[in-house]
Amino acid sequence: MNRAVNGDIVVVEVFNEKEWRAPGDEVVDQTSELYISLISFLFSAFLVTLKDDDADRSGEEGESDNDEVIARETRHIKSEHARASAEKQPTGRVVGIIKRNWRAYVCHIESDSLTSQNATSLAQQTVFAIPVSRSLPRIRLKTRQAPILIGQKIVVTIDRWDVNSRYPEGHFVRALGKVESKEAEQESLLLEFDVPYRPFGKAILDCLPSEGEQWVVPPKSDDANHIWKDREDLRQLQVCSIDPPGTVSLTDCTVRSLIAV
C-alpha cells in the first residue's frame, strides 16, 4: 500500500515497459470503442434500407462512402494509438519511505464521521479530519471535542500510518476558528504554506536597537564606520519578499526594523 505523502523521499519500483502508460491511454481506448459502435450502427441502419434495385444502386454508393469513412476513422484511431505509445511514461509503485515529510496540516472534521448517538457527546470517539490539501488522505483521529470542532478549521498532525491501514492516524493540536471566517482562513493559508508569522522571540528582539521603533538611521556625518552609508529607512512602507521554491528562511527585508539598501 502507498503510505507516502507529498514531500516524502521514497523508494520506487519501476514497472516493466509493457505496463507504462501515456496520459491519454484511457481516452484513446474509449474513443476507439465509440467509433466502432457508431460504425456498426451505421452499417446496420444502411442494410435495413435495401429494398429494391434502385436502393441497391444507391446502396453501392452508400457503401463506398461508408468504406471511406471507415478507412479515415481507422487511420485516425491508429494515429492516436501511435501517438499515445510515443508518449508513454514510466510507471511504478512506492516500496519504501526513506524520509517522511509529516508536518501540521490544516483540516476540518468530516461531519458524516460522527454517528447520530455521538453527535453531541463529549465522550472520546474516532472521527476523520479532511485536509485542505487534496494531495493528502483523510486523517483518523480520536478526540473528545468532535461536536465542538464541527464547522471549524483545525490543525492536525500525523502520528503513525500502519501498513494495513488505509488512513493515517493523528491527533488534534488546536482550533483556528470558524470555517470561512477571515481570521481562520488567513491563518490557514499561512500554516498550509509554512509561512512564519509568529512574533519574534526575545533573543531576536535583543539584537535590535534599544530605541525600538523610535530608532532612526544616523546621519552620514555621524557614521564613522560608514555602516549605514547609502541606506534608506523603508519602515513606513508595506514591503514583503517572494522567495524561490525551497527557501526556508525569510530575507532581511521582512524584519520589522526594515533597512534596505
Does 186 lie in the same domain as 108? yes
The answer to whether residue 4 sits within a structural domain is: no
Does 109 lie in the same domain as 45? no
pTM score, two decimals?
0.56
Does 140 lie in the same domain as 58? no
Indicate the residue among 173, 192, 211 that finishes a domain: 192
The answer to whether residue 7 sits within a structural domain is: no
Does 138 lie in the same domain as 78? no
Q: Supply the range of the domain harboring residue 136.
A: 102-192
**Domain holding 153: CATH number?**
2.40.50.700
CB atoms under 10 Å from CB of 143, counted, come to 19
CA distance 142 to 35: 52
CA distance 30 to 26: 6
Indicate the residue among 41, 60, 89 that finishes a domain: 89
| Grid coordinates given for 6 | 507529498
Report pLDDT for 156.
Answer: 95
Indicate the residue among 41, 64, 89 that finishes a domain: 89
Does 186 lie in the same domain as 126? yes
150 - beta bridge partners?
none
The answer to whether residue 230 sits within a structural domain is: yes
State the alpha helices, DSSP H only, in 87-210. Answer: 146-149, 182-192, 202-205
The answer to whether residue 13 sits within a structural domain is: no
Does 214 lie in the same domain as 176? no
Q: Along the 261 residues of the chain, how does pLDDT read in single tens digits?
A: 578 888 889 999 999 988 888 765 554 455 555 555 666 656 555 555 544 545 455 545 555 555 666 666 666 666 665 565 567 888 888 888 899 988 899 999 998 887 766 666 777 888 999 999 888 899 999 988 888 899 999 999 999 998 888 899 999 999 999 999 999 999 999 888 888 888 888 888 888 878 877 877 777 666 566 667 677 778 788 887 777 776 665 554 444 444 433
Does 256 lie in the same domain as 205? yes
Q: Cα torsion at 168, 2, 106, 7 (round to 10°)?
A: 130
| Grid coordinates given for 132 | 485542505
Does 26 lie in the same domain as 81? yes
Does 66 lie in the same domain as 124? no
Taking alpha carbons only, the member of 140, 204, 215 closest to residue 172 is: 140
CA distance 78 to 124: 60
Q: Is 129 exposed, middle or buried (0-12, 13-18, 19+ CB in 10 A)?
A: buried
The answer to whether residue 249 sits within a structural domain is: yes
The amino acid at 64: S
Does 174 lie in the same domain as 205? no
172 - beta bridge partners?
156
Long-range contacts of 231-240 (CB under 8 A, 24+ apart): 231/259, 231/260, 231/261, 232/259, 232/260, 232/261, 233/258, 233/259, 234/258, 234/259, 234/260, 235/259
In this structure, are residues 133 and 160 in contact, taking their beta carbons and an 8 Å threshold?
no
Does 252 lie in the same domain as 210? yes
The answer to whether residue 15 sits within a structural domain is: no
Q: What is the pLDDT of residues 142-160, one digit of tens each?
A: 988 888 899 999 999 999 9
Number of domains in the chain: 3
Does 110 lie in the same domain as 75? no
